[in-house]
């Protein structure tokens, strides 16, 4: 096994299974649907809230996608092979998260214009929302990868993983929605985007190390 | 090709149970070592401890004289490990699975290996459609595709038919003859091989 | 048989005996200071010119909030130590302190809410400090939950270390983000703790209360760690001797 063949098989697996992509996408649409139905369908509520609604939905569907990211590898023995391959486990984790990010986020971004429009989100500011998603979601994936690694061997790991990871998502959600809100009221939002990028970069550096450590401990 | 793996004074503890106490043995080229013991005696754990993913309480491990207790990379690059679960992705085809593990193998070698494990007709079949024994044979095909000096085979005969057992025994024999070493755990009698036995006693 | 095997066990034993000496002193002095601080604060300190007597809950609220944060800081550092140096006592510390810290966070939350009622007219205000204590409480719950969910001890130790460290790295970011979010939402007119010029008679008992709770929590933590050490080392000879000494 080398990094290239690993990346290729991860890519093939995710693209062929499609399940992660479709589930995340459906979940995303459903959560967004809940807000007009459950709270208020008027433009007066939805327009200012749309950034927050989209981000909550994104965070939840990412949690869904990330939660079981190593489950199959754990069950079919692939994790054991990663550990004994002599390759760097953090780097393998990094590649896996990266592929996962691509197959989940790209479809979300594709349906985003439609959903944003349904939430009365001003179309001129769509690029801001897309920027927050591109800069912020890597952090959500990388942080989630740690929780998933910690709970992969546990029978009821899903709820536990939510409890562990969701509080850590708060800053990303705050800064992302802050940027969107600032843009909506015509203020500068580059600061928030910079913070999002910083959080994502930090997560990108630290998370593969901690996830690798957790996988190793899980395989005990 | 010569190899010498020394396990010195291993102490392994799992869930507050001592699996091995002050265990020492060595594996050299041309040697087959069989780890024996009852169910739950810690045979798999011993292999995992040698490979470095469960911690040892005490002990030293040397590869060709070099101390690798704290960094097993040297050993990992020079071995194949096959565990209880074969590490075969069910959504990928047999060919794709083997390509993932052995990216440098040629098409000819790949077909050759599949022939050896009696899977030549299945190369494009998704692994999901294979039986447990067939999946295991896919994993075993890796032994034909890469040259590694040490093999760690944890219960490799499970779910194999008579033909598979014979082929694997022959492959192990040829690995030993070409100067490799094999560490194996199995409950089945070995017909054509004469291993050195390391007994794990509770 | 090698002697290093015993040397490594030696450290928990040394801790046990050290804690045996200091535990009682910490607990005793802590309780004395707490009683002194509370009585002084509740009965003798002057009433606040704005909030009247209701401000006196500060003597419970502030020490609890400080302790909740300090405990998490300690846990995060212990998590780092556990992962990097694999010190045996570090996971014991996390396991012992997590419920204490969670209790402190809960006390801070509840007393904050009670204080909020007369001051702001509602039990809960999305105040930056209160909100970050709430998140802190959730982080504690995460550590405790994963500790309970994993049966294998080695794995559980690693997992709580990772989670504690992860929380520690995130805590400043969470705090900063919540404060930033709070100023965005509402001007920070209400601050629970920042009284510009607090007279000495007011803050001295507060200081005593805080010191007292540090000592008290330290004592409790030592006690809990001792219990855990005994449990973990139950197969070693010194624990067996100890148990025999007690005549069990």
Terminus-to-terminus CA distance in chain A, angstroms?
22
What are the residue ranges spanned by the domains of chain A?
3-218
CB contact under 8 A, B83 and A216: no
Q: What is the pairing mode between strands B58-63 and B4-14? A: antiparallel
Chain mean pLDDT for chain A: 92
Q: Residue C6 pLDDT > 70, yes or no?
A: no
Please identify which residue in the block is written with the tokens 């212990």: C78
Q: Are A80 and B81 in contact (CB under 8 A)?
A: yes
CB contact residues (below 8 A), chain B span 69-88, against chain A: 73, 76-77, 79, 81, 83-88
CA atoms in the 13 A half-sphere facing the CB of B30: 5
pLDDT < 70 stretches in chain B: 1, 202
Q: Give the model's confidence band at C247: pLDDT under 50 very low, under 70 low, under 90 confident, else very high.
A: low
List Cα–Cα distances, C168 to B47, B60, C194, in angstroms. 36, 35, 25
pLDDT score of C187: 46
pLDDT score of C5: 43
pLDDT score of C7: 46
Query: Which residues from chain B sit within 8 angstroms of residue C230, using beta carbons?
Result: none
Q: How far is CA B59 from the centre of its chain?
A: 22
**Residue C1: which of B22, B55, B57 has the nearest Cβ?**
B22
pLDDT score of A91: 95
Q: Mutate one of A132, A161, A170, A213 to test the C interface: name it (highest C CB count within 10 A).
A: A170
Q: Give the model's confidence band at A187: pLDDT under 50 very low, under 70 low, under 90 confident, else very high.
A: confident
**Residue C4: which of B15, B16, B58 has the nearest Cβ?**
B58
Q: Is C235 on the interface with B (CB under 8 A)?
A: yes
Q: Is B21 on the interface with A (CB under 8 A)?
A: no
**Residue A2: which of B83, B96, B103 has the nearest Cβ?**
B103
What DSSP element (H or E) covers C215? helix C200-232
Dist. CA A171–CA A56, nearest whole Å: 12
CB contact under 8 A, C5 and B58: yes
Helix axes C128-149, C58-84, angle to 10 degrees: 50
Query: Which residues from chain B sit within 8 angstroms of residue A219, using beta carbons?
Result: 48, 53-54
Residues C174, C178, C181, C186: what is their CA dihedral angle, to the nearest 10 degrees? 180
CB contact under 8 A, C145 and A164: yes
CB contact under 8 A, A170 and C174: yes
CA atoms in the 13 A half-sphere facing the CB of C42: 11
Residue ranges making up the domain that contains C116: 22-45+56-233
Within a domain: C50:
no
pLDDT score of C9: 42
A159 or C188: which leads in pLDDT? A159
Query: Which residues from chain C sit within 8 angstroms of residue B9, using beta carbons?
Result: 2
Query: Which residues from chain B sit within 8 angstroms of residue A75, using beta carbons?
Result: 85
Q: What's the CATH number of domain B4-87+146-199, 3.40.50.720, 3.40.50.300, 3.40.50.150, 2.60.120.10?
A: 3.40.50.300
How near does any CA of chain A get to the CA of B80, in Å?
8
pLDDT score of C1: 43
What are the residue ranges spanned by the domains of chain B?
4-87+146-199
CB contact under 8 A, A6 and B77: no
Q: Write out pLDDT tens, residues C129-162.
A: 888 899 999 999 999 999 999 988 889 999 999 9
CB contact residues (below 8 A), chain B span 33-62, against chain A: 48, 51, 53-54
Q: Give the model's confidence band at A17: pLDDT under 50 very low, under 70 low, under 90 confident, else very high.
A: confident
pLDDT score of A130: 95
CB contact under 8 A, C177 and A210: no
Query: Which residues from chain C sit within 8 angstroms of residue B15, using beta carbons?
Result: 152-153
pLDDT score of A70: 92
**Residue C2: which of B9, B15, B16 has the nearest Cβ?**
B9
Share of chain B above pLDDT 90, in %: 3
Q: Is C85 on the interface with B (CB under 8 A)?
A: no
Q: Is A138 on the interface with C (CB under 8 A)?
A: no
Q: Write out pLDDT tens, residues A74-119.
A: 998 899 999 888 899 999 999 999 999 999 999 999 999 999 999 9
**Residue B15: which of C1, C5, C152 has the nearest Cβ?**
C152
Specify the number of domains making up chain C.
1
Q: Residue C246 pLDDT > 90, yes or no?
A: no
pLDDT score of A180: 93
């Amino acid at each position: 096994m080398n990094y290239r063949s690993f990346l290729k098989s991860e890519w093939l697996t995710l693209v062929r299974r499609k399940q992660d992509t479709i589930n995340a996408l459906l979940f995303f649409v459903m959560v967004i649907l809940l807000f007009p139905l459950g709270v208020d369908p008027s433009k007066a509520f939805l327009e200012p809230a749309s950034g927050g609604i989209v981000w909550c939905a994104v965070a939840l569907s990412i949690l869904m996608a990330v939660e079981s990211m190593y489950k199959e590898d754990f069950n079919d023995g692939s994790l054991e092979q990663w550990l004994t391959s002599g390759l760097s486990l953090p780097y393998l984790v990094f590649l896996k998260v990266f592929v996962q990010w691509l197959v989940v986020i790209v479809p979300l971004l594709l349906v985003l214009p439609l959903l944003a429009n349904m939430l009365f989100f001003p179309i001129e500011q769509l690029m801001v929302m897309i920027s927050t998603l591109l800069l912020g979601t890597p952090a959500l994936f990388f942080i989630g990868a740690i929780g998933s690694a910690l709970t992969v061997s546990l029978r009821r790991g899903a709820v536990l993983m939510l409890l562990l990871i969701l509080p850590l998502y708060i800053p990303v959600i705050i800064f992302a929605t802050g940027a969107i809100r600032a843009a909506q009221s015509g203020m500068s939002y580059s600061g928030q985007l910079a913070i999002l990028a910083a959080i994502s970069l930090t997560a990108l550096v630290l998370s593969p190390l901690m996830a690798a450590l957790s996988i190793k401990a899980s395989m005990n | 090709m010569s190899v010498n793996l020394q396990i010195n004074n291993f102490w392994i503890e799992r869930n507050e149970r001592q699996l091995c106490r002050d265990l020492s043995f060595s594996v050299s080229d041309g040697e087959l070592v069989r780890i024996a013991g009852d169910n739950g005696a810690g045979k798999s754990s011993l292999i995992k401890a040698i490979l470095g993913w469960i911690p040892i309480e005490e002990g030293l491990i040397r590869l060709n004289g070099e101390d690798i207790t704290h960094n097993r990379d040297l050993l990992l690059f020079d071995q194949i490990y096959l565990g209880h679960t074969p590490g075969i992705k069910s959504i990928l085809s047999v060919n794709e699975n083997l390509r993932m593990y052995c990216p440098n193998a040629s098409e000819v070698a790949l077909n050759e290996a599949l022939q050896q494990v009696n899977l030549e007709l299945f190369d494009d079949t998704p692994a999901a459609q294979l039986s447990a024994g067939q999946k295991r044979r896919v994993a075993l095909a890796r032994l034909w595709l890469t040259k590694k000096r040490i093999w760690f085979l944890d219960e490799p005969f499970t779910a194999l038919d008579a033909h598979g057992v014979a082929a694997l025994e022959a492959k192990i024999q040829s690995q030993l003859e070409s100067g490799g070493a094999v560490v194996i755990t199995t409950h089945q009698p070995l017909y054509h091989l004469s291993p050195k036995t390391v007994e794990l006693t509770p | 048989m090698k002697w290093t095997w015993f040397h490594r066990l030696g450290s928990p034993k040394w801790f046990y005996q050290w804690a045996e000496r200091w535990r009682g002193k910490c607990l005793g002095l802590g309780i004395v200071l707490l009683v002194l601080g509370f009585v002084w604060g509740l009965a003798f300190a002057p009433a606040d010119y704005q909030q009247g007597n209701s401000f006196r809950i500060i003597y419970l609220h502030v020490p609890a909030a400080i302790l909740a944060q300090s405990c998490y800081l300690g846990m995060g550092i212990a998590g780092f130590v556990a992962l990097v140096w694999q010190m045996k006592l570090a996971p014991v510390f996390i396991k012992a302190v997590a419920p204490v810290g969670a209790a402190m966070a809960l006390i801070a939350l509840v007393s904050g809410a009670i204080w909020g009622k007369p001051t702001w007219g509602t039990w809960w205000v999305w105040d930056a400090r209160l909100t970050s204590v709430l998140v802190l409480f959730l982080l504690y719950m995460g550590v405790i939950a994963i500790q309970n969910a994993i049966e294998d001890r080695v794995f559980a130790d690693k997992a709580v270390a990772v989670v504690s460290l992860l929380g520690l790295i995130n805590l400043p970011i969470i705090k900063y983000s919540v404060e930033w979010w709070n100023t965005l939402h509402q001007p920070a007119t209400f601050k629970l703790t920042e009284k510009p010029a607090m007279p000495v008679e007011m803050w001295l008992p507060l200081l005593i209360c805080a010191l007292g709770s540090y000592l008290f929590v330290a004592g409790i933590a030592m006690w809990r760690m001792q219990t855990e050490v005994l449990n973990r080392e139950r197969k070693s000879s010194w624990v067996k001797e100890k148990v025999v000494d007690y005549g069990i």
